[in-house]
Structure 1
Amino acid sequence: MSGRRVVDRGSFGRNANLPNALTLLRILLVPVFAWLLLADGGDDTSLRWWAAVVFVVAAATDRLDGWLARRQGSVTTFGIVADPIADKALTGAGFVGLSLLGILPWWVTAVVLVREVGVTVLRAVVIRHTVVPASRGGKLKTVLQTVALALLVAPLPELLRYAGWAVMVAAVVVTVVTGVQYAVAILGAARRHRAEVRTRAREAAERRRR
């Protein structure tokens, strides 16, 4: 978080700012998007278009709130916790919704969700002593998932749907590859931390013996 000032005054009211409001809006849009996507079994073309519009608007708030937070030079505890939750809730709703409609195979949704949950859990385990920042691959994964979901949610002509499937294939590949990379980086950081702790413990014991 170089160049940022973390603002944590102990209450959401005092943490309220425009980036956090956009994050909260994204969370609130998730059930709206899911309802529009699944209503009438996904057969209502107008509702599917509205679902696509809501999804794109919600995804855009992710870029906007991050840009605003960087411009203001500060982040809040609420934003740190809620922003990734909002992102994963939105894309997760898209994957699960498309699988419920029979558009997307369940194995694709399972692979993506297992990757997202797994990386989140690993980060939570090591967050006290190390932080693994988002990589370029991780950011590319998010972009590919967002574009693929938007193309498959919208009731587009068949040719454009093929484009959506092409992007989805790329998204799944990048999702798996970056998931493995994150796991290796996180576990490596955890091992290094344990080694440092053991080294400091040995040095402290040696000083006491002297």
Structure 2
Amino acid sequence: MTAAADDTVEPTPTPVPVVNVANALTVFRLLLVPVFLFALLDDGGESTTWRLVATGIFLLAAATDRLDGDLARKRGLITDFGKIADPIADKTLIGSALIGLSILGELPWWVTVVILARELGVTLLRFWVIRHGVIPASRGGKAKTIAQIVAIVLFLLPLPDGFAFAAGTVMAVAVGLTLATGIDYVVRAVRLRARGRRAIAGAP
């Protein structure tokens, strides 16, 4: 072994601080939720101005979801806090919009229940398999999220009645993708857990 090899030392990874711009955006998204609900429910949802404000807040919060993820990956700002808080913030935003629209009588409660049950189930599955690994987001999951956001925006906007069919159609697509990706997630979670258990059993 050469002297140069002896002097080679693996650098110690620098811990990623919890307080960083990516996590700040995640927290900001959570803080926007009550503001969004206030704007949506003000005046019984009948105010055009407040509906536009609510839509703007929702879109701003949804945009931070993409931005904080990109920043965390590009700048190496991924933290355990972010891994937990980011999906919670996403589901809180989507859930609050669905619940708010159902309270106003503009979205059937069964749609809200189906979507929220799926999201809660996926969250529980993440914790169920967390010791065996992380299930990466699929293309279907990303399409589901986009469909949900577009459908919610169509319901939030004070559009003429002629757009009701379009909004309902997009929401139906979102529900279909929600159920399909939920089933896919269950299958992948079961497989991941089974592989993890086999690996543990075969370890010396």
Is 1:165 matched with 2:159?
Answer: no
Is 1:132 matched with 2:135?
Answer: yes
The equivalent position to 1:102 in structure 2, one of 96, 101, 105, is 105
Contact kept, 8 Å, 1:7 with 1:15, in 2: the verdict is no
Q: CA deviation at 1:66?
A: 1.2
Contact kept, 8 Å, 2:71 with 2:77, in 1: the verdict is no
Contact kept, 8 Å, 1:115 with 1:175, in 2: the verdict is yes
Q: CA deviation at 1:45?
A: 1.5
What is residue 123 of structure 2 aligned with on the other side? 120
Contact kept, 8 Å, 2:22 with 2:77, in 1: the verdict is no
Tell me the TM-score normalised to structure 1 length.
Answer: 0.86
Q: Equivalents in 1 of 2:133, 2:84: separation in Å? A: 16
Superposed CA deviations along residues 84-106 of structure 1, whole A, max 9, x for unmatched, are 11100000001111111111111
The equivalent position to 1:86 in structure 2, one of 64, 85, 89, is 89
Q: Equivalents in 2 of 1:199, 1:77: separation in Å? A: 28
Tell me the TM-score normalised to structure 2 length.
Answer: 0.88
What is residue 18 of structure 1 aligned with on the other side? 21
Q: After the TM superposition, which segments of 4 or more aligned residues of structure 1 sit over 3 Å from their partners?
A: 5-8
Q: Equivalents in 1 of 2:159, 2:196: separation in Å? A: 50
Closer, same or farther: CA 67–6 of 1 in aligned 2, 3 Å:
farther
State the identity as a percent: 52
Contact kept, 8 Å, 1:19 with 1:69, in 2: the verdict is yes
Q: CA deviation at 1:194?
A: 2.1
Secondary structure, in 3 states, of the residue corresponding to 1:75? coil
Superposed CA deviations along residues 109-145 of structure 1, whole A, max 9, x for unmatched, are 1110110000110111110122111111111111110
Is 1:179 matched with 2:182?
Answer: yes
Secondary structure, in 3 states, of the residue corresponding to 1:74? coil
What is residue 69 of structure 1 aligned with on the other side? 72
Mind listing any 5+ residue stretches in structure 1 that lack a counterpart? 9-13, 205-210
Q: CA deviation at 1:81?
A: 1.5
Q: Equivalents in 2 of 1:6, 1:178: separation in Å? A: 36
Q: CA deviation at 1:159?
A: 2.6
Is 1:50 matched with 2:53?
Answer: yes
Secondary structure, in 3 states, of the residue corresponding to 2:78? strand
Superposed CA deviations along residues 147-168 of structure 1, whole A, max 9, x for unmatched, are 1101101111223332222111
Q: CA deviation at 1:6?
A: 8.6
Mind listing any 5+ residue stretches in structure 2 that lack a counterpart? 1-12
Q: CA RMSD in A?
A: 1.6
- Name the aligned partner's letter for residue 69 of structure 2: G
Q: Equivalents in 2 of 1:113, 1:19: separation in Å? A: 25
What is residue 30 of structure 1 aligned with on the other side? 33
- How many aligned positions are there? 192
Contact kept, 8 Å, 2:140 with 2:181, in 1: the verdict is yes
The equivalent position to 2:144 in structure 1, one of 141, 145, 150, is 141
- Name the aligned partner's letter for residue 185 of structure 2: Y
Q: CA deviation at 1:195?
A: 2.7
Q: CA deviation at 1:24?
A: 1.1
Contact kept, 8 Å, 1:141 with 1:174, in 2: the verdict is yes
Superposed CA deviations along residues 177-199 of structure 1, whole A, max 9, x for unmatched, are 00000001101211222233333
